[in-house]
Structure 1
């Protein structure tokens, strides 16, 4: 099998896996749904093996490809990308080889396309692994290093990538290590100079797509108004003057969004308006847009635009000042809930998953009701990450079952220990909401980088609950559920679970977590499920080091408890999954 054929089959496997997942959101009774679930699990296991074989073949053979075979592989990969399929572990090894090959053969057009796809895949991939990792713009800069060959690139669509590279460097540089706003401004000037170049104007001066992107570059720079206090006096004035160019004083609603926000922020920072006036101005600007947002059917672009607006408003709400933000936050929260209610789960793209998770986290400081906060986090999992929510429910059910038989005097003193255990179980994996698309991956093995991202989920969870002191009591459970009983293994390395006052509850959640993961035959295609007896044997081997000897012995010595755990993991799981998927059916 050659590489183009392998890429085609890999694409077909992606399509089939997505269809199998979508089938679970089809309306049907529980018995029919459970039959569909069983068929899905069997087929996904087959696709998992097939995709891994294709992935290994492609990444191994690509280094030996050249000439027409490389051109055919390029076209197959480009078609995959244009059709909206993103899979960095597949695409990046191919793209690296293509960049090398087309660099040697001086094929600038294909070099630019390869760099462009590589940049996008790296950006998407990294943000899914860890939203806190700075974005690497190496490929975009590689495109700009080829700008002297502008007129040698025949296709206008490919030449457009020069300006796309400038745009991405400028708008994403806030996340780049060691890049100052002054350096970003230099990129802006460089982009404007390239646009004015005689050969560029001759080729693309009338190209509407390029003209629009140049304008987006200019508007994109205005996002640095958010860092106004840290800007040099020159940049403060430059942003203000550039925002004024776009301002329509006769009808402010005709002003583009980013320039309006930049102008408003500058006015606030210059002391010309108060925070109350800033928020009132934003409300008058956005409220008409929000009121009519649902007049037409939602698509990914409109949802993306909505969350860009919401993100900006949330940043304004967090500005220092005495304004009462409760009203504005309440309006935004209702708006977001309405978007979620009208958005089908299967349409949740990686970007939308990321921005929804970002909104949930950014909203936590404004919440003052513990039950509402917990429900908001649970709902976020239900709608965007059903596998994690189901796992959390199973961990809760297992922990509840074990709790019935344990010595309650061992628990720390608290008003309602069972409720604390239940909520701790539901929240223990909340950090996975920051890496939704990795957790939902079912059709191939995870890369080493993806495994590292998953190992960061306790730290992500800690960062989420840090936003509101009402959640702080779950800190040790979230950080400690992957630590060994003796504290000498597991992760994260810098957390000492042995000193926690909730140590026995952490041990309980850990046992429940491992028992569910090992016996799950529907959600973990990368390994075969084990019986409860097999898992208990593993617990006994690791007793005193990895697992709590108290809970290991408790289950071992109580056959009734063991039987209940077998019933729960073997027979009750499909029912809990059905309920979760029905609850998470958004927009059907």
Structure 2
């Protein structure tokens, strides 16, 4: 290597400095979340919020400099790092992987840098780690609904399995574990995430069952106790997968379903005989067995529910002893199964409604009281499973009950997104009232109460606009870990995921007839007025019957984002008058020109909006904080 190249080398000291500083900034960023939720007076809390905004903006800028100086250059110029430097970078990658505070998109960036180096060296065990780390990272990102991550999850886990027959030559015990971690995630997790079809998972399950009969792979059970644990969980839980398929809406061929049911019957009988008590049997096995028994008419639905509810209440006493993913399944999948079974019974409706409430409270209490920073992608996946699930929404008796549930579970779940949604609803209500008073023809939506081509009354319009504004970012629910990245700028991959939130919100709201009317606003609020820009391009906002509402929410969304000086670390807030000039400059292209004219010409409205976005913003934020904290207390 020549002297000029050495002059620009990234040293081991640089790598250590990068990770130590970056991680310190990361942990400080997470700590602010806890500080903002501590009990405080208005003055104390606002002082904390301002300090948080200033500190986060500085740390975000510092981390971005670190990334651009020490990490990102390696993507285009791998020669900047020595062999020893690559090994050091690999060790930090391991630390990140084994940490509870994972950043999958950043891990993928590091893996992309490391892979060519270790492939050139044919370093099998380092490659095994990188493949398992990449598989995990893409699997986590697949929980956001990002489509390309699914294929990449399968690709990297399959790469791990391709080394299976070399297990005897591995020097590291962890390398042997990686083989079975890949099997476990492909068999037990991937089908429920829509990553892998059930037929392929079934084939891998059969393969794993065969492997467990071969001494070559069982000889490490003592030195690698995690191997039999992973295998037993993957094999036994898959036998009871019918209970998972039922609530996760995974389509499976009838032959596989029949096979799974038969295996459940056999396994349940074996384990019940072995332990002598239903309470010692695995939960999904118990649930699937009794569900099948009731469906086949062997026992009544009433008997099945009584057995399962009793089992569930009993298991709640010891559930703290199981691992986190099992805990999430216990408080999401199993209550959904109980709701399903109860729905088949002929118990009195009053009793069923009271029991539905008990199950909903169990679910929401668990989901809302978990630290957002721990296992955040998995936790958000649980919220996604539950929030708009037909079994849950089917327990409510009207639209208002459903809306309150969604607001409590989803909209209020994250303080920053909750704050933005409330601000947009306030702005939409303020502008909407003035438009309806001065030029009502600018804000027309179809009536939800009358058939035919009939427009809603002004009162109906306002009743629609406020919840539509609250729900406009509902698609961000599955992306909270990315949105919560306050310690650095999002990279292109993460930003592309964020841009899918309108479609994701549309998918959520399409799951129930009572929410369909809000779907166009969720889908179109990032589209320009003239329909030439924004996302998703596949949606033609100019042809939507709800175009006026979309135009209004688009203006309010941009107005709040641009003037927010407390919760957006990636930019500096703009003065209200500067933003108004931007609205004026974009009238007819980015923004509805008539609505912009109303805002610019109505002095009273101007004062209201200026007050909302500037002087009154902190009061609104504190009120939202109190609501947020009180909701969390209620759920505990």
Q: Taking structure 2 as the reference length, what is the TM-score of the superposition?
A: 0.84
**Does the C-alpha gap of structure 1 residues 376 and 209 become closer, same or farther in structure 2, counting only changes over 3 Å?**
same
C-alpha distance in 2 between matches for 1:321 and 1:560: 53
Offset at residue 52 of structure 1 (A): 1.7
**Does the C-alpha gap of structure 1 residues 300 and 439 become closer, same or farther in structure 2, counting only changes over 3 Å?**
farther
Aligned to 1:378: 407
**Does the C-alpha gap of structure 1 residues 108 and 542 become closer, same or farther in structure 2, counting only changes over 3 Å?**
same
Aligned to 1:567: 611
Aligned to 2:128: 112
1:231 and 2:255 matched: yes
Aligned to 1:356: 383
Offset at residue 499 of structure 1 (A): 3.4
1:511 and 2:555 matched: yes
C-alpha distance in 2 between matches for 1:520 and 1:273: 59
Taking CA–CA contacts closer than 8 Å with sequence separation of 6 or more, which of the two structures ends up with the larger relative contact order? 1
1:310 and 2:336 matched: no
Is the CA contact (8 Å cut-off) linking 1:98 and 1:111 kept in structure 2? no
**Does the C-alpha gap of structure 1 residues 300 and 423 become closer, same or farther in structure 2, counting only changes over 3 Å?**
farther
**Does the C-alpha gap of structure 1 residues 208 and 221 become closer, same or farther in structure 2, counting only changes over 3 Å?**
same
**Does the C-alpha gap of structure 1 residues 460 and 313 become closer, same or farther in structure 2, counting only changes over 3 Å?**
same
Aligned to 1:259: 285
- 1:331-366 CA-to-partner distances (Å, cap 9, x unmatched) read 211212433565455667332222123212112233
- 1:209-229 CA-to-partner distances (Å, cap 9, x unmatched) read 222222112113224323676
Aligned to 2:397: 368
C-alpha distance in 1 between matches for 2:101 and 2:337: 32
Among residues 157, 169, 189, which one is paired with 1:152 in the alignment?
Answer: 169
Is the CA contact (8 Å cut-off) linking 2:184 and 2:230 kept in structure 1? yes
**Counterpart secondary structure, 1:272:** coil
C-alpha distance in 2 between matches for 1:326 and 1:531: 50
Among residues 186, 193, 201, which one is paired with 2:218 in the alignment?
Answer: 201
1:434 and 2:478 matched: yes
Aligned to 2:52: 40
1:99 and 2:130 matched: no
Among residues 479, 486, 489, which one is paired with 2:530 in the alignment?
Answer: 486
C-alpha distance in 1 between matches for 2:106 and 2:284: 36
C-alpha distance in 2 between matches for 1:300 and 1:125: 25
Deviates more, 1:25-34 or 1:64-73: 64-73
Offset at residue 160 of structure 1 (A): 1.6
Among residues 9, 20, 27, which one is paired with 1:8 in the alignment?
Answer: 20
Is the CA contact (8 Å cut-off) linking 1:484 and 1:490 kept in structure 2? yes
Is the CA contact (8 Å cut-off) linking 1:481 and 1:510 kept in structure 2? yes
Is the CA contact (8 Å cut-off) linking 1:476 and 1:502 kept in structure 2? yes
C-alpha distance in 1 between matches for 2:397 and 2:617: 34
**Does the C-alpha gap of structure 1 residues 84 and 335 become closer, same or farther in structure 2, counting only changes over 3 Å?**
closer
**Does the C-alpha gap of structure 1 residues 52 and 243 become closer, same or farther in structure 2, counting only changes over 3 Å?**
farther
Aligned to 1:90: 106
Which residues of 2 match residues 136-215 of structure 1 at below 5 A?
136-174=153-191, 180-205=197-222, 207-215=224-232
**Does the C-alpha gap of structure 1 residues 584 and 108 become closer, same or farther in structure 2, counting only changes over 3 Å?**
same
- 1:427-468 CA-to-partner distances (Å, cap 9, x unmatched) read 111121122112222121112222222222222222222232
**Does the C-alpha gap of structure 1 residues 466 and 315 become closer, same or farther in structure 2, counting only changes over 3 Å?**
farther
Aligned to 2:491: 447
Aligned to 2:66: 54
C-alpha distance in 2 between matches for 1:376 and 1:303: 24
**Does the C-alpha gap of structure 1 residues 467 and 328 become closer, same or farther in structure 2, counting only changes over 3 Å?**
farther
Offset at residue 29 of structure 1 (A): 0.9
Is the CA contact (8 Å cut-off) linking 1:429 and 1:478 kept in structure 2? yes
- 1:118-173 CA-to-partner distances (Å, cap 9, x unmatched) read 21111112313548974622222212111222122223233122111111111134
Offset at residue 318 of structure 1 (A): 4.7
**Does the C-alpha gap of structure 1 residues 188 and 503 become closer, same or farther in structure 2, counting only changes over 3 Å?**
closer
C-alpha distance in 2 between matches for 1:358 and 1:532: 39
Offset at residue 554 of structure 1 (A): 1.0
Offset at residue 308 of structure 1 (A): 3.8
Aligned to 1:396: 425
- 1:481-537 CA-to-partner distances (Å, cap 9, x unmatched) read 222223333223333333334332322222111111111112222222112211111
**Counterpart secondary structure, 2:529:** coil
Deviates more, 1:194-203 or 1:389-398: 194-203
Aligned to 2:358: 331
Is the CA contact (8 Å cut-off) linking 1:151 and 1:203 kept in structure 2? no
- Which segments of 5 or more consecutive residues in structure 2 lack a partner in the other structure? 1-12, 246-250, 347-351, 445-454
Is the CA contact (8 Å cut-off) linking 1:34 and 1:574 kept in structure 2? yes
**Does the C-alpha gap of structure 1 residues 273 and 134 become closer, same or farther in structure 2, counting only changes over 3 Å?**
farther
C-alpha distance in 2 between matches for 1:200 and 1:480: 53
Among residues 436, 456, 463, which one is paired with 2:507 in the alignment?
Answer: 463
Deviates more, 1:27-36 or 1:273-282: 273-282
**Does the C-alpha gap of structure 1 residues 540 and 360 become closer, same or farther in structure 2, counting only changes over 3 Å?**
same
Is the CA contact (8 Å cut-off) linking 2:339 and 2:359 kept in structure 1? no
Aligned to 1:472: 516
Is the CA contact (8 Å cut-off) linking 2:503 and 2:523 kept in structure 1? yes
Is the CA contact (8 Å cut-off) linking 1:228 and 1:236 kept in structure 2? no
C-alpha distance in 2 between matches for 1:531 and 1:122: 40
Deviates more, 1:254-263 or 1:220-229: 220-229
C-alpha distance in 1 between matches for 2:343 and 2:29: 50
C-alpha distance in 1 between matches for 2:310 and 2:409: 29
C-alpha distance in 2 between matches for 1:155 and 1:74: 15
- 1:202-244 CA-to-partner distances (Å, cap 9, x unmatched) read 3334643222222112113224323676234555534543444
**Does the C-alpha gap of structure 1 residues 167 and 59 become closer, same or farther in structure 2, counting only changes over 3 Å?**
same
- Which segments of 5 or more consecutive residues in structure 1 lack a partner in the other structure? none
Among residues 538, 545, 555, which one is paired with 2:599 in the alignment?
Answer: 555
C-alpha distance in 1 between matches for 2:373 and 2:186: 30
Is the CA contact (8 Å cut-off) linking 1:345 and 1:383 kept in structure 2? no
**RMSD of equivalent CA atoms:** 3.0
1:121 and 2:148 matched: no
C-alpha distance in 1 between matches for 2:386 and 2:30: 26
Is the CA contact (8 Å cut-off) linking 2:428 and 2:556 kept in structure 1? yes
- 1:167-206 CA-to-partner distances (Å, cap 9, x unmatched) read 1111134258795544323322332343443343333346
